[in-house]
Every structure is written in C-alpha cells, then in structure tokens.
Structure 1
Amino acid sequence: MNRSPRVVLLAGGVGGSTFAVGLRDEVRERGGELTVVCNTGDDLWLAGVRLQPDVDSMLYALADVKDTTKGWGRRGDSTRVAGELHAWGVGWDWFELGDLDLGAHLARTSWLREGASVSEALRRLQSRWDIGATLLPMTDAELDTRVVTAERTMHFQEWWTRFRASILPERFDNPGIETAVPAPGVLDALAQADAIVVAPSNPVVSIDPILAVPGVRGALRAASARVVGVSPIIGGAPVRGMADICLRVVGVTCSAAGVAAHYGARESGGILDGWMIAEEDAADRAGIEALGVTTTVAPLWMTDAAHTRAMAVRALAAAGLPG
C-alpha cells in the first residue's frame, strides 16, 4: 500500500480504550489515520448533566490523562463536588463523579443545550488534546442501555456499578435504536478503511449496540477492508468486568469461540473475516476457522504498552496491513 493506512476501531469500555492506545501508537508511526467509533449505549443523564462513560474513557486514554489504576476517570482527580451533590441528595452516591470529569460533563451538556449534536460536542472535547485519532460516537441519538429484570427495568450503569451485575437480567434494550442513524462520518470511515478492528470490548453491551445502529452492519459487510476482531475472553473468562454474565443473558458461551460465533463470519452474514484469540484458547482455533473466520493465536494480555502495541501489530497484520 502506497498511501497512509486508514484504520477504524469499534470499541467501548476499559479494554477497548486500552487497546486503542496501542493501536493509535502503531497507526501513527506508520503515518496512518485512526478513527474510533465509540459505544454510546452506556450514556446517561445524571445530576442534570450528560455522561458518556465509554466515550470519555476513550478520550482520556488517548489523551494520556486516564486514571489507569481505576481504569476510568481522570488521573489525580478529586470528588469534592460529588460529595457536595450527595449532601444535597442529588445524583447517585454509589456512582463516583470526579471533579475534573464533571468539568467534561458540564462542557458537553452546555454545548448540547446550545444545540450542538453529540458528534460536535465530542469534536470539541477531543480538540483539547493531541490524541492522534478521530473519535466518533456510534450515533447522535440517545440510546441508553436498559437492563430488564424480573422486578424492574434499570439503567445499565445502575445494574453494572451499583449491583455489580448481581441481578440476573432477562434482556438488554436500547429503546429507539430501530430509528437511529449512524453519526456523521461513521459510514464513510468504514467505507474508506484499509482495516477495521473490533476491540476486545464487552461484546453485548459495548459492541452489540454499535452493530445494532441501522446501517452499521451493512457497512461492515460491504466494506472492502478486512474486519478483524480481538477476543475479550481468555481461557474461558472475561479479562475484565462481567462479560460472562452478559453473554449468558444472550445465550452465548463465554469462550473465544462463542464470541466469534456471536459476531459471525462475514461470508455467512456476520461481520468477521479474522479473529485473534489468546494462546490459552488455541484449542478453539479449528472450530472458529470452521465458521469461515481466519484465526490468529497470540498473547492477548495487555499488561503494558509494549504488549498492547504488539497486539495491535498482529491485528493489523491479520487485517492485511503487515508492519
């Protein structure tokens, strides 16, 4: 390839933002362009401001201001304002909002109330730092994920953060998603990409909402670029979070092979051309390739920047962009 590579990443959550940094570093060294399509299904209104947890985790990670110990929020943040809000009985006392984080939420909310779209608000937020990538929300519509249980329906963040996924859901919903449209730039990025990567994010609540936006699956199937996914499951368990519970709810086995089958092979109406699995799951390789998905076995623990970037190199090679 003579020109600089254009790479698109579909991502959400802590794993997605960590992987995005390694991919950004590799793509930037090659003189390429990285576009990240972010999940907005876990967005919510709280204390009068609009929060975008996955978007902000991605922004902070690429800007190198993320609290890597917690895995989310701003490094060195305080919670003085949150404490004052709780004293007034505003917000959720089990949902921590950092002061610096609140600054981003207030800025976003101010722009939205002035008439800016979600895409425009995100463009303004990311312009503060040289993040080396372009962040796009999956849609400008509000499609907050709702968790339906036998007792009641709650926002995903309440189920995930307050109850730590201890209540078994009946299903996950994104009300209104049937009439949503991809955010400006999303379909063009997929059509023009030289490689498309699905991050090692929670398949059910981070990646599936992106794929459920009308037009996105079709764009992936029509793309000239290869679509390669990175497994978020290692040795039959999620690397982080409660993806195993989410997968169980939608009837998917918590394994590298199970998630590969969930996404499906592009030649059979799914989205994947390639799938990266951990060395611990090498025994699944034959079964995954029988689905019609080329499978790469590699170390997938993102223990440091070097290992994460090595994963990105392998993902790009699997997508037809060798270093």
Structure 2
Amino acid sequence: MSRVVVLTGGVGGAKLVLGLSRMMPPEDIVAVVNTGDDFVHLGLSISPDIDTLLYTLSGKANTAQGWGRENESWGFLAALRELGGEDWFALGDGDLALHVLRSHALRHGEPLSAIVGRLARAWDIGTTILPMSDHPVATMVDTDEGTLPFQRYFVARRCEPIVKAVRFEGAQAAVPAPGVLEAITDPTNKAVLIAPSNPFLSVDPVLAVPGIREALVQTTVPVVAVSPIIGGEAVKGPTAKLMRELGIAVNHRSIADHYRDVIDGLLVDERDTPIDLPVAHAFADTLMQSLNDRIRVARAAIALADALRA
C-alpha cells in the first residue's frame, strides 16, 4: 500500500487534497478533516470544511468565490431576508440540500463519519473523507469583543476582532472518528501530510482531539507539513493577522516550531529564505492558483517525505 493521509481544513487544504488526487489513485488518499468550524445555523447542522472538500473533489466547488457551489442559486436566502431572518451566513439552494440531509441523518442517530461517507459515494469521490471526530468540538475565539464562536468571528465579523486566544470546547471529551487513528499509524503509508491550512484555526482543532497528536508522534512514516506562509504573509484567510495578534512571528520558523513535536519535515515556499529551521525542509513554489499548481505542491510534499524516508 502507498496510502497518503492528510490532515486538512479550509480551502487551502482542499486544494492540496485535489492535487494529490490527480497524481495518485484517489482511493489511496485519506483526508482527516477539521470539524471545529461545524455549527448549527437556523436549525441546520453545517460542516464548512467537510463540505468544501466534498465540493472540491466532486468538481462542484465555486473556485472563484472560494466557498460554496458553482452555479448556485439564492432563492432561499432572498426569501429568508424578506422575512427578517439572519442572512450573515450565506446558504445557497444547492448547498442547503446538503445541510438538510446531514441534519436529518444526525437527528436520527447517524454518526457524522457515516453521513460523510455516504455523501462522498453519492458523488463518486474515491478519496476517504473522515471527520476528525463524530463528537462535537467547537472552535471558540477569545477577542477584544468577547468570546465568539468561530463562524461569528470568521464570517459575521470577517476576522476583524483582535484575537487573544483560541479554544476548542468539547475536544477533551471527543474521540477520533472511526478509522482516523488506524489511518495515521498504518506503517504501510507513504506519508502523512499536514495541509497548508491555518495552523491555529484549522489544524489545531484536529490535534486537540485526544489520540490524534499521539498518533502523529507514534507513526513510523514521514510526517510533512506544508507551510501556509508565502513571502511573509498568508495567501488567504486570517493566518498572518492571527499570528501577529498572538505575538507570533509570521515566518516559517514559527510554523515549524508550532508543529515541532509532530512533523519530520516542512515544505516552504521558494520565495522565502528560512534559516535555522528545527526540522528538515525543502523548497517549492507553494502558491496554488491552478490545478497544475495543486499537483506541483502535492508532488513536492511527497518528494520531501520520500527523501525523509530514504
């Protein structure tokens, strides 16, 4: 077996998984996805990072927008707005179908991991998509405006509040979803990758679930992270802003230090010149704008893992 396991969340992570799926059989990829962003809105259970990956791998993603479905319609949201409903979180008509099905299944006792597997099969997605846990974990952001649930901070407030700390409520009571630990620790894997997702908001929730960090430490195959920093900034999202507010230097050294106990190598952008990194590293153009870019970064991450294995 030459399976690759990826810890992922958000758009950047979905791009890397898509690149991997174009350079190797999708069936040989396992994506462990952040669910700290999950929340209930208007009575619907929403899993933004899982849905981004489902849309991306099925070819349904709105790539220009960076979230949601391509060719979406907005009749529901318009009707909701007319009635004075909360419209800060955009729910498209096609997107709504996914949330309704998931909510119905969860209310009838089906675990999230089983629901995600069924949705992936419906869209002929070969990659195994696993939520980090079937138990609820909520990313909470302590800010100068008080404590905000992640989506309120990220979507409603557009990451404007100053962040003081990030917490993951429910993490200590959660357990990894079925198959997660087995996938990470499988000695026949080719590599375990940490996607260039926000380390603090997208990857840390995964690592907060008891057993997952330990599995990364115990696995005998190379663990490689792709740094989200390019030219001293993050391409998308609040990574750089968040790091500055938490008093962390925005550079590859900080990313390497953050993952130091769980990674063997770090893939960094060729535009930067990191010095004295505490882990092995390699350079590549890590900006992912096209499909070829995604494949290039995936190949570079696997090449670093192969070098570490050798």
TM over 0.5: yes
Shorter chain as denominator, the TM-score bin is: over 0.9
How far did 1:188 drift?
A: 0.3
Distance 2:246 2:112 in 1: 29
Kept after mapping to 2: 8 A contact 1:277/1:300: yes
Distance in 1 between residues matched to 2:27 and 2:124, nearest whole Å: 15
* Alignment-derived partner of residue 276 in structure 2: 287
Question: Whole-Å Cα distance in 2 between the matches of residues 261 and 153 of structure 1?
Answer: 27
How many angstroms does 1:32 deviate by?
A: 5.9
1:218 alignment partner, SS class: helix
Asked whether 1:213 is paired with 2:209, we answer yes
Note if 1:318 corresponds to 2:307: no
Q: Where does residue 237 of structure 1 map in the other structure?
A: 233
- The Cα of 1:251 is off from its aligned counterpart by 3.5
Deviation at 1:166? Answer: 1.1
Asked if structure 2 preserves the Cα contact closer than 8 Å seen for 1:5 and 1:32, the reply is no
Q: TM-score, normalised by structure 2?
A: 0.95
Q: Please name the residue that 2:11 is paired with.
A: 14
Encode CA deviations 1:89-128: one digit per residue, 9 max, x unaligned.
33x3221111100100000001001110111111111111
Aligned residue pairs: how many? 306
Do structure 1's residue 273 and structure 2's residue 264 form an aligned pair? yes
Distance in 2 (CA, whole Å) between partners of 1:257 and 1:132 is: 35
One of 1, 5, 10 as aligned partner of 2:2: 5
**AA partner of residue 209 (structure 1):** P
Q: What's the TM-score once normalised by structure 1's chain length?
A: 0.91
Rounded to whole Å, the distance in 2 between the matches of 1:251 and 1:185 is 36
Contact 1:171-1:249 at 8 Å conserved across structures = no
Superposed displacement of residue 263, structure 1: 1.0
Large movers: runs of 4+ above 6 Å: none
Contact residue 194 and residue 224 of structure 1 kept, 8 A: no
Residue 181 (structure 1) aligned with residue 175 (structure 2): yes
Alpha-carbon displacement from aligned partner over 1:290-310 (angstroms, at most 9, x marks no partner): x1x111011111121112101
Match for residue 75 of structure 1 among 52, 70, 81: 70
RMSD value over aligned CA atoms? Answer: 1.5
Superposition map of 1:131-146 within 5 A:
131-146=125-140
Q: Which amino acid in structure 1 is aligned with residue 281 of structure 2?
A: T
User: Equivalent residue for 2:282?
Assistant: 296
Contact 2:27/2:126 (8 A) holds in 1:
no
Q: Look up the SS of the partner of 2:286 in the other structure.
A: coil
Is 2:35 aligned against 1:46? no
Deviation at 1:38, TM superposition (A): 0.3
Give the CA deviation at 1:249.
4.1
| Structure 2 unaligned residues grouped into runs of 5+ | none
Cα distance change on mapping 1:256 and 1:127 into 2, 3 Å: same
Q: CA deviation at 1:33?
A: 0.6
Residue-by-residue CA offset, 1:250-308 (whole Å, 9 max, x unaligned): 442211221111111xxxxx111011101111x20x311xx1x1110111111211121
Q: Distance in 2 between matches of 1:126 and 1:120?
A: 10
* Structure 2 CA distance for aligned equivalents of residues 247 and 120 of structure 1: 35
Give the conservation status (yes or no) of the 8 Å contact 2:138–2:170. Answer: no
- Check the 8 A contact 2:163/2:246 in 1, yes or no: no
How do 1:70-219 residues align onto structure 2 when only pairs under 5 Å count?
A: 70-90=65-85, 92-192=86-186, 193-219=189-215
Q: Which whole-Å deviations, capped at 9, do the CAs of 1:126-185 have from their partners, x for residues lacking one?
A: 111122200000011111211122442221111111221111122112111112111110
